Amino acid sequence: MDVTTDSGVPWLIAGLGNPGPEYAGNRHNVGFMVADLLAERMGGRFKRHGKAQAQVVEGRVGPPGPGSRRVVLAKPMSYMNLSGGPVTALRDFYKVPADRVVAVHDELDIDFGVLRLKLGGGDNGHNGLKSMTKAMGPDYHRVRCGIGRPPGRMQVADFVLKDFSSVERKELDWFVDRAADAVECLVSEGLERAQSAYNS
């Protein structure tokens, strides 16, 4: 399928994270942060979906007119390691092919503030991706938001469930804004264009 044409089939953009206020500022929740910003740009509010354990916003991204794309923004309301169930339920409900599914997630092996976009691949130990791949196979897009590695001997699980540091928070709004731009570019103009503009 040519993802740069609007066939009327929506894109499903899943920001990955953990539900609940205690997790809101965690590194693991950067996908939720990007989804929230995209919803704000679309002028929509997240509402619970009737057929999936997720909150969704339906709308369009991209320039007005024929260049805009129909999207379903989603935040799975399961915990991160169960993301595959809600995302697959939404994919089936909206009849979205795999190449129009996008996971927006934190990535340990990329420095904080760096983005990488790709189609398919492994889960790199990320429990949200592991769950999605188990449920639907690996052939979906990923917008990987770098959070860096834990310092010293800190365990990965502790690191991802901590809030961004005070130094990182100074750059966080810019980073989330850039990641949202990258998602919009991917949906509107295709992977190669988005990679050349945003892979840093």
Q: Is 50 exceeded by the pLDDT of residue 1?
A: no
Contact by Cβ (8 Å): 138, 146: no
Q: What is the pLDDT of residue 57?
A: 97
Q: Find, among 1, 138, 17, the residue nearest to 86 by Cα.
A: 17
Instruction: Tell me the pLDDT tens digit for each residue of 5-37.
Output: 556 899 999 999 999 999 999 999 999 999 999
Is pLDDT at 162 greater than 50 in this prediction?
yes
The mean pLDDT of 116-143, rounded to a whole number, is: 96
Percent of the chain exceeding pLDDT 90 equals 90
Question: Do the Cβ atoms of 158 and 164 come closer than 8 Å?
Answer: no
Q: What is the mean pLDDT of residues 142-166?
A: 96
Cβ count within 10 A of residue 107:
21
As a whole number of angstroms, the distance between CA 63 and CA 173 comes to 23
Would you say residue 174 has pLDDT above 50? yes
pLDDT at 119 over 80: yes
User: Quick one: pLDDT at residue 67?
Assistant: 74
pLDDT above 90 for 2: no
Exposed, middle or buried, 102 (CB in 10 Å: 0-12/13-18/19+)?
Answer: buried
pTM for the model: 0.95
Beta carbons within 8 Å of 179's beta carbon, 6+ residues apart: 30, 34, 104, 115, 143, 145
Give the rounded distance of the alpha carbon of 122 from its chain centre.
16
Residue 115 pLDDT: 98
Provide the mean pLDDT of the chain: 94
The catalytic residues are: 28
- φ/ψ (deg, to 5) at 71: -135, 150
Question: Do 31 and 176 contact (CB within 8 A), yes or no?
Answer: no
- Alpha-carbon distance of 33 to 68, in angstroms, equals 22
Q: Each residue of 59-104: pLDDT tens digit?
A: 998 777 777 899 999 999 999 999 999 999 999 999 999 999 999 9
Of the listed ranges 42-51, 61-70, 108-117, 162-171, the one predicted with least confidence? 61-70
Task: Give the pLDDT confidence score for residue 65 in this predicted structure.
Answer: 77
